[in-house]
Each structure stands twice: as C-alpha cells, then as structure tokens.
C-alpha cells in the first residue's frame, strides 16, 4: 500500500502568500510532484489546515482541484479551517454527529479520519461524542488501523506549540492505549515540523507541510517560529507487517547527484570510499 500525505496546505485567496510562498501554487506543485513520482498511490490524505482563513472560495477551489484527480482523496480539517464552511462545500464529509470523521477502506486495513477542530481556538479538541465514536469504531473495524488527524496528540516540547496541541490528549491517549494492538500508525500535521514518536507504543509521524515551514525553536517560551526550509509531503508505504514514512522535500532547489554521474563520482570519492 502506498499513500500520499499532504498537510497544512493553508489555501489563500490566489496570489496571497504566507511566508513568501503562495499556498495554491504549492498545492499544485506538491500534487504534480507526488502524483508524477507515485502514479501507483492508493490514496491521498490531506491532514488539515486546508484553508488559511476558512473561506468558502478556498474550499471550492480545493474541491475543483481534487475532482480532477483519479485516486481516492480523504480530508481532515484543522484549526485554520471552519467546519461549517467546509461542510457547506463538502457536505458528504460529515459523519452522523456532524463531525468531519470517516472510516475508509484501505488496501491494508482501515483508515480513520478524525476531526480535532474546535471553535475560536487554534488548539485541538476531542470531545466525549468523538471519543465514543472512536472507541466504538476501533472496536468494530478490521485492523490494522491507520489514524489521520490534524493536531498532535503528544507535546513536542516547545511551549507555544504545546499550547495549541490536542487539549483532550489524555482521553484520546486512553483510547489509543486500549486499542494499541490494532492501531498501526497515527499521521498528523499542525506543527509544520517533521516529527515522529509514539503514544502508548503506537508510532506517529508528521511531515513539515506543503507551504510555510516551522522551526524547532527550543527555549522560546512565547512565540512560534518560522523558517525557509523546503516544502514537503509524506509518502507512506505499508504492508501487513511494516510501515515506512518518507518526508519528500519537493521544494528543495538544490542539486540531486545520481550514482553514475560525474557529480556523484566526485561526491562518492570524497565521502563513500574508505
Ligand atoms: Fe497549519
Ligand atoms: Fe494547524
């Protein structure tokens, strides 16, 4: 199974930039890069912050873009989204409780799309209704299960980011612990940083995002930090026994030295021959 994870696409009114980067252009560039290198991908997952300000026009533009793709596409919403506005454009993405949650069949196991959105906050929330849904769903579905969500369920150790992590992380963690043998991996976004770790033994990972980049600014207690590190997406490879996650920095503008080329021979002589 091969899945593509894009996150934090932060669509803006076309032409408006964030950190000097135009999110609509970057979404197109990420899709072009990902789909040309991975025409065999089984699905595309976009893990939230779809729009930068929750504008309806952003969701309509996103829908047009995604309608042109010929692979299954699955969406989560993030803190920059507006659930009601999103659902006005994507009404079929609402579950029975009105959350943007879903169960999707994957070539290996089952994917669960989680809604960690809450009003008037950049933090993430997972209320008792959603907790019950997740607990019940995890009991019912065929494993292995892959969770997709926007907010990080584990603190990253950088204070301003941890203020806006998943606020119901303890309750969420208890559900993960209960079903840990069934959950293979958690994929999230939100931090604009490449992250990996585990929660009750369940691995998680996040790529940096398709547009603006963060910086792991340890010690900065008050402010978020940005950088010009390359735009990226993730390629997820999984079978019955293993998972591999790549972060592909498609925005990298430097050289790629291929084995067999003169440039690679120079590099190889200096670094690889002992
Ligand atoms: Fe974001
Ligand atoms: Fe976010």
| 144: preceding bond cis by omega (within 30 degrees) | yes
Is the pLDDT reported for residue 57 higher than 80? yes
pTM: 0.97
Residue 269's pLDDT band (cuts 50, 70, 90)? confident
Alpha carbon of 121 to those of 117, 167, 180, 230: distances in Å?
A: 9, 11, 29, 28
Count of CB atoms within 10 A of residue 127's CB? 15
144 CA from centroid of ligand 2 (Å)? 27
Give, in degrees to the nearest 5, the angle at Cα 113 between 108 and 74: 80
CATH number of 2-271: 3.60.21.10
The pLDDT tens digits of the residues spanning 6-24 come to: 999 999 999 999 999 999 9
CB neighbours (10 Å) of residue 225?
16
pLDDT (average), residues 136-145: 96
CA of 52 to the centre of ligand 1 (A): 8
Per-residue pLDDT band for 218 (boundaries 50, 70, 90) equals very high
Question: Ligand 1 center to residue 191 CA distance, Å?
Answer: 6
For ligand 1, the distance from its centroid to the CA atom of residue 51, given in whole angstroms, is 9
Query: Is 60 exceeded by the pLDDT of residue 274?
Result: no
Span 244-264, average pLDDT: 92
């Amino acid at each position: 199974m091969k899945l593509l994870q894009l996150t934090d696409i932060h669509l803006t009114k076309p032409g408006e930039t964030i950190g000097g980067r135009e999110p609509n252009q970057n979404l197109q560039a990420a899709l072009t890069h990902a789909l040309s290198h991975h025409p065999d991908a089984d699905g595309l997952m976009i893990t939230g912050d779809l729009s930068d300000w929750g504008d309806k026009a952003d969701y309509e533009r996103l829908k047009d873009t995604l309608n042109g793709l010929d692979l299954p596409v699955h969406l989560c919403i993030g803190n920059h989204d507006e659930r009601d506005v999103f659902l006005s454009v994507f009404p079929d993405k609402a579950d029975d409780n009105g959350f943007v949650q879903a169960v999707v069949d994957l070539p290996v196991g089952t994917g669960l799309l989680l809604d960690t959105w809450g009003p008037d906050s950049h933090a993430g929330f997972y209320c008792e209704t959603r907790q019950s849904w997740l607990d019940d769903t995890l009991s019912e579905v065929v494993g292995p299960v892959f969770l997709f969500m926007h907010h990080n369920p584990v603190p990253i150790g950088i204070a301003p980011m941890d203020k806006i992590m998943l606020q119901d992380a303890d309750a969420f963690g208890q559900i993960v612990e209960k079903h840990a043998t069934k959950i293979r991996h958690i994929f999230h976004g939100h931090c604009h940083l490449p992250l990996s770790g585990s929660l009750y033994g369940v691995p998680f990972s996040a790529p940096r995002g398709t547009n603006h980049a963060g910086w792991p600014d340890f010690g900065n207690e008050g402010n978020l930090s940005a950088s010009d590190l390359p735009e990226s997406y993730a390629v997820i490879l999984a079978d019955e026994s293993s998972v591999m996650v790549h972060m592909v920095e498609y925005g990298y503008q430097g050289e790629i030295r291929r084995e067999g080329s003169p440039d690679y021979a120079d590099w190889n002589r200096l670094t690889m021959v002992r």
